[in-house]
Amino acid sequence: MRCSPIIVAVTLLSLSSCDVATSWYATLDDARRDRLFERGWLPDILPASARDIRVSSDLDVNHSRGDFSFDPADFATFAAHLRARDDKTFEYVAGGNTWVFSCDSSRGHCRYSMR
């Protein structure tokens, strides 16, 4: 019996995303209570006003990505922890991991990825 290439492809794609965990936190305190930062998916350097924090972690390859919003007035304090790549992209390195933040400081929003 031969398997259709489409069936094989769909099966492989569905199996490859089995270990992705997505979490959402309304506030920074909610993320801390759930020990998000202790698990290492995101560093505990977010602005005090961080909210609507979304984290998707791929457990198979130890990658994380997500986004969060914050009060634009808090951006300078947050950026002080980061190394600027350009005017909207920043990097944070700790514990062998690198997080890249793409931020719109005027809107108070950042996307990030960790590898």
Indicate the DSSP class of residue 33. Answer: H
Q: Where are the domains of the chain?
A: 19-114
Identify the pLDDT of residue 100.
Answer: 98
Band of pLDDT at residue 79, cut at 50, 70 and 90:
very high
Could you tell me the sign of the dihedral formed by the alpha carbons of 41, 24, 110, 29, in that order?
Answer: negative
Which element (helix H / strand E) includes 61?
A: none
pTM comes to 0.81
Residue, of 4 and 30, whose pLDDT is higher: 30
